[in-house]
Amino acid sequence: MPSISSGNEFRTNLSLAFVALFWSGLTLAFDVTAGYGAVRQLRALSFPRVPGLIQKCEMRVRHGKGTSYYVDLKYSYDVAGISYEGTTYRQGLQRNSKAFADSLVQTLVPGQTVDVFYDPQDPAAAVLHPGIEGNDVFLTMFMTPFNMVMLGLWAGLWMRVRHPATGGYKLRDDGCEQRLAVAGWSPVHAAGLVIAFGSFAAIFLIGFPTHMDPSLPVALGGWVAVLCGAAMAGIWTARRFDESMRDLVISRFNETLTLPVSGPRREPLTVPWSDVASVTVDSVRDTKNRSYFPVVMIQRPDGSLTREIVAEKASQWSANTLAAWLRAQIGVPQS
């Protein structure tokens, strides 16, 4: 008969899967829309051009949850003796700032001759401005935090499902040693966090001052800064924390337990199994949430007990599962 904890874990995984699917659906829908528009803009660079005439270019105001602006545009052009009318300035997600609308109205004056880029396979489809602009590049930065959250949700769910016996921590077992990466960050994790938080910060540092419409050099410069920061974080983490500092190691040959660098412990700590008096879980509540830490009580030669953290803060299920697994591996009874 399934245990209550197994049933709770199944419901938790199901809830996480629902959240991940919902978040992914919204995020990917925006990704696809923005990406498709950018691809169409790049494709338009190869379109033939013909002279056209601006018929109308007026700014309109749209009221809803907020005020947005758009341009009511119409232009005419001829292809192979056939007259067409176009209304599209560029493909993809449209900018709705007043500054952009004002600029376009002042630039495209009725009666003005302009270059029109038309699709040779469908001459009725045309644009006035092909290619990538700063807002296309900035959109990728804007969406990066949402995409990183999406990847994190699926990665976390995968680890919970793939490694349930160890509380979601990946187990490596060569027959002599068992290793679990339970502390610190890998270079990939460090770089990913910098990309996520760096791109989020760019929304405020670049997006708001430019009304979400930076120039191409500014948008590219933002990405260069974020990626350079991510590379530096990855390199620093690789040099500062190697596997020996992040891994919980159980040696069957030596019957020792090695605790990774965690909290106040600045160096890995190796103790015989016989010195481990108990493996429990402590909890700490902050202003919003409660965090859980698997801990071991180690008996010193003088008979005193020392509390050592096994892994960094985790969910209640993860901490309890890891503690139970560790007790089973080193033969410590549940206290």
| Tokens 């001459």 -> residue | 123
What pLDDT is recorded for position 6?
59
The residue among 175, 152, 178, 174 whose CA lies nearest residue 165 is 178
**Tens of pLDDT along 120-175?**
999 999 999 999 999 999 999 999 999 999 999 999 999 999 999 999 999 999 99
4 pLDDT higher than 50: no
Is 297:277 a contact under the CB 8 Å cutoff?
A: yes
User: In terms of domains, do 211 and 272 share one?
Assistant: no
Label residue 2 by pLDDT band (50, 70, 90): very low
pLDDT at 119: 97
Coil/strand/helix, residue 266: coil
* Mean of pLDDT over the chain: 90
Distance of CA 122 to the CA centre of its chain: 38
Taking the C-alpha atoms of residue 47 and residue 121, their distance in angstroms, rounded to an integer, is: 10
86, 108, 130 - which closes a domain: 130
pLDDT > 60? residue 109:
yes
Query: What is the rounded CA–CA span in Å between residue 60 and residue 96?
Result: 10
How confident is the model over 80-99, as a mean pLDDT? Answer: 89
Handedness of CA 209, 213, 217, 223 (dihedral sign): positive
Task: Show the domain range for 190.
Answer: 133-162+185-240
Mean of pLDDT values over 93-120: 91
Distance CA 222, CA 216 (A): 10
Which is it for strands 67-79 and 49-63: parallel, antiparallel or unpaired? antiparallel
The predicted structure's pLDDT at residue 196: 96
Q: What would you report as the CA-atom Rg of the chain, rounded to the nearest whole angstrom?
A: 29
Within a domain: 259? yes
12 domain-assigned: no
DSSP class per residue in 218-229: HHHHHHHHHHHH
What does DSSP assign to residue 108?
Answer: S
Does 177 reside within a domain?
A: no
Output the pLDDT for position 8.
Answer: 75
Gap between the Cα atoms of 41 and 38, Å rounded: 5
pLDDT tens sequence across 168-214: 999 999 999 999 988 878 899 999 999 999 999 999 999 999 888 89
Confidence at residue 284, expressed as pLDDT on a 0 to 100 scale: 83
In a domain, 88, yes or no: yes
Inter-CA distances, 271 with 185, 307, 323, Å: 24, 13, 17
Rounded mean pLDDT of 26-42? 95
- Residue 16 covered by a domain: no
| Mean pLDDT within 53-75 | 89
**Average pLDDT of the residues in 272-286:** 90
In this predicted structure, which of 197-206, 231-240, 307-316 has the lowest mean pLDDT?
307-316
Q: Secondary structure of the chain: what % helix, strand, coil (to 5)?
A: 45, 30, 25
274 and 254 fall within a common domain: yes
119, 137: one domain: no
Over the stretch 85-94, which tens digit does the pLDDT of each residue have? Answer: 999 999 887 7
Is 20 a domain residue?
Answer: no
Residues 6+ apart with CB under 8 A from 260: 182, 183, 184, 245, 246, 247, 248, 268, 311
Our count of domains for the chain comes to 3
197 shares a domain with 116: no
Among 240, 260, 287, the domain-final residue is 240
Return the residue matching tokens 């699926």. 154
- Is residue 280 in a domain? yes
* 144-148, 226-230, 309-313, range with the lowest pLDDT: 309-313
Residue 287's domain is classified under what CATH number? Answer: 2.30.29
Which residue shows structure tokens 């990774």? 260
**Does the pLDDT value for residue 242 go beyond 90?**
no
Q: Are residues 207 and 283 in the same domain?
A: no
Residues 65 and 138 in one domain: no
In percent, the amount of the chain with pLDDT more than 90 equals 69
Give the closest residue to 248 by CA, choosing from 152, 301, 184.
Answer: 184
Same domain for 150 and 108, yes or no, is no
Q: Are residues 138 and 155 in the same domain?
A: yes
Of 240, 313, 329, 229, nearest to 279 by C-alpha is: 329
Could you tell me if 138 and 230 lie in one domain?
A: yes
Q: Is 121 within a domain? A: yes
Closest CA to 26 of 184, 178, 153: 153
3 state SS for 169-197: CCEEECCCEEEEECCCCCHHHHHHHHHHH
Decide which of 207, 240, 273 is a domain's last residue: 240
Q: Same structural domain for residues 192 and 270?
A: no
